[in-house]
Amino acid sequence: MNHRETTKRRWSALVSALACWAILAGALARPADAVGPDNSQTNPGQWYSAQLHIHGWSNHNAGAQPGSMQYHTAWAQAKGVDVLWWSDHNKMFVQSMDLPLNLAGATVNAALDIALLHPPGIDPSYRGWQIGWLDAVVAGSGAPSATVTDGVLRMALQDPASRFGSFTYRALNYQQGLIAGHSLGRPLTSDPALKVAVARCDASSSADAWAEIRVGLSWHTTQGVARPQELVYRLTPASEPPTVTASSTVVTYTIPLPGSSRALSRQEGRETLTIERALLLDAGLLPDGDDNALQALTFRVGSRNGAAACLEISDFSISSRQQDVAANMASQRPIAQRLYAAYGVVQHTGWEQNAGTWHMNPYLPQGASLLPVWPDANLTTFTPTVKAQGGLAALNHPFGANYGPLLPDDQQDALVQNRLSTLLSAHAWGMNLLEIYLERQGVDLAHHLKLWDLLAANGVAMCGIATSDQHGGPLTSPRTHMVTWINAPDPSQNTLLAGLAGCRAFFGRIDRFDGVLDLRLGSTLMGGFYSIAPGSGQLQVTATPLPAGAQVKLVQVANQPGGQLNYIVDHQPIDPSQPVAIDTSRPGFVRIELWSASGEPIAFSNRIYLRSLQCDVTQDGVVNIVDMQSVAGAFNQTVPPAPERFDLHPDGVINVRDVVLAEQCWRQR
């Protein structure tokens, strides 16, 4: 064997060793308390279905069924989802804003609804996060009344019927809708305290009259049935003893009024009691009680048999006593560990970071120190920080976060061009991943895929992922089932990151497919780069098990600057059991799509890129062993200090993909 061949073999062995290290690094670095199976349970090369963007506590969109982590985990177990990667909003962990009930200057209309003014001392930008309206709801035949005087709300009811009637105030926002944002909807692990001055302004016994404050919590699933949990504070006359009763969904605390902490009420010299409740502690009697966020707030009185029920409320507020961001982030992990042990669904924790009109998810390795920031992050500086800590950055819902009817095609096309222009000018801030949705912000799947393909054709290659971005239920819509499958030796946090870093991933609907979708061109796997050469190559497609009647379609696009795609192959049906000849002479990419016989989307591969590899990193006019040595010698460095020309797979870091590309050049020279 000559010296040249010996050297070539030695460097090939080094490349293989580096590749193995990249895959195993996460498992070796994973701490003992990481959520998920340990290394003894690994299955190298397995595909794991992952929900990469899901909210267990953030009900910022004021959904109808705000789900707990347990609620989503029970669903994932039933659907066969392997991994949940929690991504509650950054503000959920930065709980510095109080939720007061500002009764000063409030007005009561003829229907007894109460309009509130914005609380002093709170930034008006967050007006939508505050209580702006008390919505009056009356049940029964009684006559309700309400006044607000000097900051004191007095609500009363007298119902002559033998069955209880009720008079309820629901706390809503200024638009008379459910309160969105993160001021009411704060996690219990931030240790929120409810404080209020209360008085019973009646002399009735609890047999015929009652008053209470109710705090609605997140939805949980018990024996297949989903219901919200709730804390109830029943305010009784002083003569009645305090009691506590609990079920799987409700804990009721009976609090006699007035109590030991008495002061004169501002109305009629009545005695009041200032009560302060630790909501996390009070929820401890509920199953998974710490796995909750506040979701609703109501004040109620009830009456029957002509008894008078009357309640006075003032100086109400909710504030979090745990405001340390790191502590609030850490509080989610033991809950995730407990749910993994109970359901077998692997759990990782992260967050969704607001950045002005854009949102992004940082996916970080175990041990990373980066934390959520508030106010919004600057993507120009935040994305490099994520990468510097060994993480990946995902651009979330690129057209916007809202839902609604699909827009006309011409408007969707215009949005694609608008987003393309913005993202190309910023090179997508160097992000690694792009979310693909069935529909979002009025934009359908086809236009999401078009934006993704146009970015790649213009030199901004991002790995495609699909997510549900669920904030709760009902978990029935098609988008609920959108997941990403990741190829990794085990589902630990670091090895899944390694799989995503190499774009060893495909995405689709787990209710239609739960198999393997993969590509190989020569020795290049899906997510990799193939060096262009004259002629054609044989693309090997794995699509198994193939659903009955499903079609596999080939998409090949040539790189071309601008806003139009230059198709080499435009969604051509292929037989995945046979190699497919593709043109390897032009830079671009190839991917496949899986569709049902009725034309419904099932699953989508990521790409193999065809490009002219510029491997003469030493710029001496030849590709030789020194180029491989240079790239390997800069392994794990960011760019800079490593020269940009070493970053053969341009993602801002010299990693195994760059070393493998350098090795491919060496082999093919």
Lowest mean pLDDT among 37-51, 326-340, 412-426: 37-51
Is-contact 176 211, C-beta < 8 A? no
What is the token pair recorded at 1? 């064997």
Contacts 24+ apart (CB under 8 A), 3-10: 7/625, 8/625, 8/666, 8/667
Average pLDDT, the chain: 90
- Both ends of the chain: CA-CA distance in Å? 19
Structure tokens at 414: 């215009």
Residue 666: pLDDT over 80 = no
Per-residue pLDDT, 60: 74
pLDDT at residue 262 is higher than 50: no
Q: How confident is the model at residue 9 (pLDDT cuts 50, 70, 90)?
A: low
pTM of the model: 0.88
Residues 6+ apart with CB under 8 A from 576: 541, 542, 543, 546, 552, 592
299-318: pLDDT as tens digits: 999 999 999 999 999 999 99
User: Per-residue confidence at 12, pLDDT binned at 50, 70, 90?
Assistant: low
pLDDT greater than 70 at residue 515: yes
The pLDDT value given to residue 151? 96
List phi, psi (to 5°) of 376: -55, 155
Say if residue 627's pLDDT is above 90.
Answer: no
**Residue 263, pLDDT above cutoff 50:** no
Structure-token pair, residue 287: 């199953």
User: Following DSSP, what letter does each residue of 645-656 receive, concatenated?
Assistant: GG-SS-SSB--H
What is the tens place of the pLDDT at every residue in 218-256?
999 999 999 999 999 999 988 889 999 999 999 999 999
Position 270 scores a pLDDT of: 58
Do you find a cis peptide bond into 258, omega within 30 degrees of 0?
Answer: yes
* 342 φ/ψ angles, rounded to the nearest 5 degrees: -85, -35
pLDDT at residue 635 tops 60: yes
Residue 264 has pLDDT above 60, yes or no: no
Q: Percent of the chain at pLDDT above 90? A: 78
